[in-house]
Amino acid sequence: MAAPCVSCGAPLSYRLFLGGRVSFARRHGVWKAAAAELQIGAGSQILRLRHTTGVTTKKNVAALRRETYTVDFIKKQIEEFNIGKRHLANMMGEDPETFTQEDIDRAIAYLFPSGLFEKQARPIMKHPEQIFPKQRAVQWGEDGRPFHFLFYTGKQSYYSLMHETYGKLLDVEKRQNQLQAKGLFSENTKTKDLIGSRWLIKEELEDMLVEKLSDQDYAQFIRLLERLLTVQRDAEEEFVQQFRRSVTIQSKKQLIEPLQYDEQGMAFSTSEGKRKSARAKAVVYEHGSGRIKVNGIDYLLYFPVMQDREQLMFPFHFLDRLGKHDVTCTVAGGGPSSQAGAIRLAMAKALCSFVTEEEVEWMRQGARRGGSRWGRELSPRDLGTADHRPTRQGAEEAGPGGRPQEVHLEEALSAPTQAGRGDAGVCAHVRPTDGRDLPASVRACCGMVCF
Amino acid sequence: MRVQIAATMLSRVTRLTSRTRQLDPGRILHTGSRAPQSVAAHLDDQAADDGPRAVSRTSEKDPARHGEQHEGLHYDIPLQDVGTLFPQSLPPRFSMQVKTFGEACLMVRKPALELLHYLKNTDFAHPAVRYVLYGEKGTGKTLSLCHVIHFCAKQDWLILHVPDAHLWVKNCRGLLPSAYDRTRLDQPAEASAWLKNFKTTNERFLSQIKVQGQYVWNKRESTERGRPLGEVVEQGLTRAKSATDAVGVVLKELKGQSRAGGFRLLVAVDGVNALWGRTTLRREDKSLVAAEELALVHNLRKMVRNDWHGGAIALTLSQTGSLFKPRKAYLPQELLGKEGFDALDPFVPILVSNYSPKEFESCVQYYLESSWLQHEKAHTEDGKKQLLFLSDANPGQLERLCAHL
Question: What are the pLDDT digits (tens) for B281-314?
Answer: 888 888 888 888 888 888 888 888 888 888 889 9
A9: how many CB neighbours lie within 10 A of its CB? 8
Residues sharing a CB contact under 8 Å with residue A258, sequence separation 6 or more, in sequence order = A269, A353
- Tell me which residues of chain A, numbers 330 to 369, contact chain B at a CB-CB cutoff of 8 Å: 362, 366, 369
The answer to whether the pTM exceeds 0.80 is no
Q: Which residue of B has its CA nearest to A299?
A: B392
Q: Is the pLDDT of residue B5 over 60?
A: no
Is A299 an 8 Å CB contact of chain B?
Answer: yes
Euclidean distance between CA atoms A280 and A338, whole angstroms = 10
Q: Do B382 and A320 touch (CB under 8 A)?
A: yes
With both helix axes pointing from N to C terminus, report the angle between B243-258 and B295-303 in degrees, rounded to the nearest 10: 10
At A376 the pLDDT is 58
The one-letter amino acid at A155 = K
Residue A435 burial class via C-beta count within 10 angstroms: exposed 0-12, middle 13-18, buried 19 and up = middle
Cα-trace Rg, chain A: 29
Half-sphere exposure of A3 (CA within 13 A, CB side): 5
CA distance B323 to B328: 13
Q: In degrees rounded to 5, what are phi and psi of residue B230?
A: -55, -30
| Nearest Cα residue to B180 out of B272, B237, B252 | B252
What's the start-to-end Cα distance of chain A, in Å? 47
Q: Decide if the complex's ipTM is over 0.90.
A: no
B328 reaches A (C-beta below 8 A): yes
User: Using a CB-CB distance cutoff of 8 angstroms, which residues of chain A are in contact with residue B377?
Assistant: none
Question: How many beta-carbon pairs below 8 A join chains A and B?
Answer: 60
Taking residues B5-10, report their average pLDDT. Answer: 50
CB proximity B38 to A under 8 Å: no
Q: Are strands A260-261 and A244-246 parallel, antiparallel or unpaired?
A: unpaired
Helix (H, G, I), strand (E, B) or coil at B251: helix
Q: What is the dihedral of CA B165, B171, B176, B177, to 10 degrees?
A: 60
Helix (H, G, I), strand (E, B) or coil at B205: helix
Q: How far apart are CA B374 and CA A344, in angstroms?
A: 29
Q: Which amino acid is residue A194, in one-letter code? A: L
Q: Can you tell me the distance from the alpha carbon of A228 to that of B391, in angstroms, rounded to the nearest whole number?
A: 61
Cβ–Cβ gap A362/B34 under 8 Å: yes
For residue B58, pLDDT over 50 is answered with: yes
Instruction: Give the helix/strand (H/E) hosting B397.
Output: helix B395-404
Bridge pairing between strands B74-77 and B104-107:
antiparallel
Q: Does A375 touch chain B (CB under 8 A)?
A: no
Chain B residue at shortest CA distance from A304: B397
Asked if the C-beta of B36 comes within 8 angstroms of chain A's C-beta atoms, the answer is no
- Residue A291, pLDDT score: 86
State whether residue A64 sits within 8 Å of chain B by CB: no
Question: 3-state SS string over A273-336?
Answer: EEECCEEEEEEEECCCCCCEEECCEEHHHHCCCHHHHHHHHHHHHHCCCCCCCEEEEEEECCCH
pLDDT digits (tens, 9 = 90+) for B266-280: 889 988 888 888 888
Sheet holding A278-285, edge to edge: A260-261, A267-275, A278-285, A326-332, A292-294, A297-298
pLDDT of residue A171: 93
Q: Which phi and psi angles does A414 have, rounded to 5°?
A: -100, 80
Which chain B residues are Cβ-neighbours of A323 within 8 angstroms? 385, 388-389
Shortest Cα distance, chain A CAs vs residue B33, angstroms: 5
| CB-CB under 8 Å, B390 with A309 | yes
Question: Which of A416, A423, A420 has its CA nearest to residue A441?
Answer: A416
The answer to whether A344 touches A312, Cβ cutoff 8 Å, is yes
* Model pLDDT, residue B2: 52
B54 pLDDT tier (thresholds 50, 70, 90): very low
CA B394-B85-B358 angle, to 5 degrees, is: 25
Mean pLDDT by 10 residues, chain A (451 residues): 46 45 47 48 47 49 62 91 94 91 93 92 91 81 88 91 94 90 70 73 89 92 91 83 76 65 81 90 86 89 88 86 87 92 90 74 60 59 71 45 38 35 37 42 39 31
What are the distances in angstroms from CA A450 to CA A384, A425, A426, A429? 12, 8, 8, 11
Q: How many C-beta atoms lie closer than 10 Å to residue A432's C-beta?
A: 17
Distance of alpha carbon A37 from its chain centroid, rounded? 25
Highest-scoring range by mean pLDDT, A77-91, B25-39, B323-337: A77-91
In terms of CA atoms, which chain B residue is nearest residue A359?
Answer: B34
Distance from the Cα of B374 to chain A's closest Cα (Å) equals 17
